[in-house]
Each structure stands twice: as structure tokens, then as C-alpha cells.
């Protein structure tokens, strides 16, 4: 099993580059056989379920919306629409916009179910829920000019996500619902984007009634996790390497993700191993890690 684990990690690096020797190895795992069946059997329920199917399964409505930012990114936003039947008589329906963290998408706000997901709890309290998928996430991989395999497509940071994506999403929600203000909830890198919007486009502060910053990031100097530290130390070398293999971003790839999650869910030892490896990126605190949710990607 461990060779599959390392192969899938390499798959994330090479799967979308033009020089991809790992694709041949992944094809061996994808074929029918004991390895494939073993991985399928260990894939947790609801992993990679479509967000619309997940919401319908749990009794919630769903809408899909698209809009284009000022710099040409075509974003997909998901809505859990609320009606006046869910709020008190003569009360305006409050709008709430959720902004995801790095490498996450709209489904991460709902995937812990009705009793453990902030977006669903907000809906149950009467909010009209909007879930942003900013540029580079699985639902927002298009641009009016660039292909998502081109370097120019990936030339952005949290600043552009805030300045362009959040601005466009706020305007879209308010215009679509004919509202004047909304509440914005962001997490981790999403908070950096929110702060970028609030400090560079001051007019949007009049459109945001309340901004909630969960696990906010305004400065990276205190990060001590080994992978981010090494990345910053050897950034010039890493940039040259990724440029040489034509890898400019890490687009979402469902098959590679399925393999990693299946391996990590294989048994308790693999769950702990994957949790430790994740800690190299994000920091390791075993008492604060829910192994089931972590392995399921929630």
C-alpha cells in the first residue's frame, strides 16, 4: 500500500504538467485488479460527491451561478436559496457569503452535514447562503483568454482573490438579490483575501454589514511548519523546477485525490501516518485533529 501512497503524492505534482512520467504508473492502479478494488472499498462514503447531490440528499435546495471578474476569470458560485417562509414575517432575508480557504471549495462549507456545517446551520437560521469558489478551485478553472494549464492563468495570490473575486461576488449577490448589504464569512487564506478587499477597495466596506474572519491570516512570519518554511527557503529553486516541468498551479484532480484518500483510510495506522504528513504542511496538533473528517477531506 505504501508505494501507492507515494505514487499518488507524486501524481499531484506531475498530473497536470506536460512532462508526466507518473501518469503511466497511475494507469496501472486505475485498471481492474486487487489494488483497484482495495482502494474502492476504502473510499469513505460521500467522498467527492457532487455538491448539488449532497445538498439534495440532505434536504436542501441548490442553485448554480456564474459571473466574470474584471480580470477575466469565470467563477462558479453556489447558492442555498432561502425564502421568506424561513424567516420572521416582515423581516428582510439576510444574505451571507462564505469564502473558502486555500485549496478548498464550496462543498467544504457543507460536507460535515446539517449539524456540523456552518453554511447549513446558517440556512436553518434563515440566511440566504452563497458559497464562493474563487479562481483556481475545482469549480472555477476557466478564463476568457487563458487555459488553466498556462502560466498566466495561475499568476495570482490571495490579493487578486480579494481585489477581484470577492469584489465581483459581493456585487453579484447584492445585484441578484436586490440587497444593499451582506455578511461575509471567510476562513484561513480566505480571510487574507477578505482583508485585501477591505483595505484596497474601501467602497466595499459599505456593502459588507459584518465580516467574520475565522483563523485569520495577515502575516506569514509566524509559520513554523516544516514544508512552508522549506518552501520559502528554497523558493527560487522550486520556481525554476516547476517552470521547467510546466507546472504553474495544482489543479483539482479527482482520481489522484481518490487514491490518496483511499490509502489514508486503509487502517488506523495509515490514518495516523497521513495525519502526520498533513501536519508537515499545516502544523500538527493531534488533540485537535478529527481523523475521520480529515481522511474524508472534510
pLDDT tens by residue, 197-255? 999 999 999 999 999 999 998 777 777 788 888 888 888 898 888 888 888 776 666 66
Q: Are residues 96 and 69 located together in one domain of the fold? A: yes
Q: From CA 182, how far away is CA 218, in angstroms rounded? A: 23
Assigned domain for 204 exists? yes
Question: Alpha helices, DSSP H only, in the chain?
Answer: 2-14, 22-30, 34-41, 51-57, 118-124, 158-160, 167-177, 189-200, 226-233, 235-244, 254-264, 268-282, 291-296
Residues 96-144 have pLDDT tens digits of 999 999 888 999 999 889 999 999 999 999 999 999 999 999 899 999 9
Same domain, 60 and 24: no
Predicted local distance difference test score (pLDDT) of residue 2: 39
Q: Per-residue pLDDT for 264 more than 50?
A: yes
Residues 198 and 257 grouped into a single domain: no
Q: Is residue 46 domain-resident?
A: no
For residue 33, the model assigns a pLDDT of 53
Last residue of a domain, one of 186, 214, 242: 214
Judge whether 106 and 187 are in contact, CB under 8 Å. Answer: no
- When mean pLDDT is compared across 44-48, 163-167, 184-188, the lowest value belongs to 44-48
Residue 228 gets which letter from DSSP? H
Q: Calculate mean pLDDT across residues 82-91.
A: 61
Q: For the stretch 87-96, what's the b/e string if a residue is b when 16 or more beta carbons lie within 10 angstroms of its beta carbon? A: beeeeeebbb
For residues 166 and 268, state if they share a domain: no
Q: Are 247 and 174 members of one domain?
A: no
Q: Which of 199, 214, 229 marks a domain boundary?
A: 214
Q: Are residues 195 and 230 in the same domain?
A: no
Coil/strand/helix, residue 172: helix
Find the helix or strand (DSSP H, E) in which 99 lies: strand 95-99
Are residue 154 and residue 101 in the same domain, yes or no?
Answer: yes
| Residue 137 and residue 247 in one domain | no
Query: Grid coordinates in use for 142?
Result: 476557466
Q: How confident is the model at residue 6 (pLDDT cuts 50, 70, 90)?
A: very low
Question: Is residue 56 domain-shared with residue 199, that is, in the same domain?
Answer: yes
Cβ atoms within 10 Å, residue 117:
18
User: What pLDDT does 37 receive?
Assistant: 55
160 and 59 share a domain?
yes
Q: Would you say the pTM of this structure is higher than 0.85?
A: no
Q: What CATH number should be reported for the domain holding residue 94?
A: 3.40.50.1820
Window from 65-79, 172-186, 235-249, 269-283 with minimum mean pLDDT? 269-283
Domain that holds residue 244: 2-41+221-296
Clarify whether residues 29 and 72 are in a common domain.
no
User: What percent of the chain stands above pLDDT 70?
Assistant: 74
For residues 80 and 174, state if they share a domain.
yes
Number of domains present in the structure of the chain: 2
Burial of 245 (0-12, 13-18, 19+ CB in 10 A): middle
Question: In this predicted structure, what is the pLDDT of residue 96?
Answer: 98
pLDDT score of 3 more than 50: no
pLDDT value for 48: 65
Last residue of a domain, one of 182, 214, 246: 214
Amino acid at each position: 500500500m505504501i508505494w501507492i501512497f507515494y505514487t499518488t503524492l507524486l501524481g499531484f505534482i506531475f498530473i497536470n504538467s506536460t512532462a508526466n512520467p507518473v501518469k503511466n504508473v497511475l494507469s496501472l492502479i486505475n485498471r481492474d485488479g486487487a489494488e483497484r478494488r482495495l482502494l474502492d472499498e476504502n473510499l469513505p462514503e460521500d467522498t467527492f460527491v457532487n455538491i448539488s447531490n449532497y445538498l439534495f440528499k440532505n434536504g436542501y435546495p441548490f442553485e448554480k451561478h456564474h459571473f466574470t471578474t474584471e480580470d477575466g476569470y469565470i467563477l462558479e458560485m453556489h447558492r442555498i436559496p432561502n425564502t421568506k417562509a424561513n424567516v420572521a414575517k416582515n423581516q428582510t432575508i439576510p444574505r451571507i457569503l462564505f469564502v473558502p480557504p486555500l485549496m478548498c471549495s464550496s462543498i467544504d462549507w457543507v460536507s460535515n452535514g446539517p449539524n456540523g456545517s456552518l453554511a447549513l446551520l446558517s440556512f436553518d437560521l434563515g440566511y440566504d447562503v452563497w458559497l464562493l469558489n474563487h479562481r483556481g478551485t475545482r469549480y472555477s478553472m476557466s478564463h476568457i483568454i487563458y487555459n488553466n494549464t498556462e502560466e498566466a492563468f495561475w499568476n495570482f495570490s490571495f490579493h487578486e482573490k480579494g481585489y477581484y473575486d470577492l469584489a465581483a461576488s459581493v456585487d453579484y449577490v447584492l445585484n441578484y438579490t436586490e440587497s444593499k448589504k451582506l455578511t461575509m464569512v471567510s476562513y484561513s487564506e480566505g480571510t487574507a483575501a477578505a482583508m485585501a478587499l477591505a483595505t484596497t477597495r474601501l467602497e466595499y466596506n459599505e456593502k459588507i454589514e459584518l465580516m467574520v474572519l475565522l483563523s485569520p491570516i495577515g502575516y506569514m512570519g509566524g509559520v513554523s511548519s516544516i514544508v512552508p518554511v522549506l518552501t520559502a527557503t528554497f523558493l527560487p529553486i522550486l520556481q525554476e523546477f516547476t517552470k521547467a516541468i510546466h507546472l504553474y498551479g495544482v489543479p483539482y484532480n479527482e482520481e489522484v485525490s481518490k487514491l490518496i484518500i483511499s490509502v489514508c483510510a486503509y487502517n488506523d495506522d495509515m490514518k495516523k501516518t497521513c495525519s502526520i504528513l498533513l501536519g508537515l504542511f499545516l502544523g500538527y496538533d493531534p488533540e485537535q485533529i478529527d481523523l475521520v473528517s480529515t481522511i474524508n477531506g472534510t
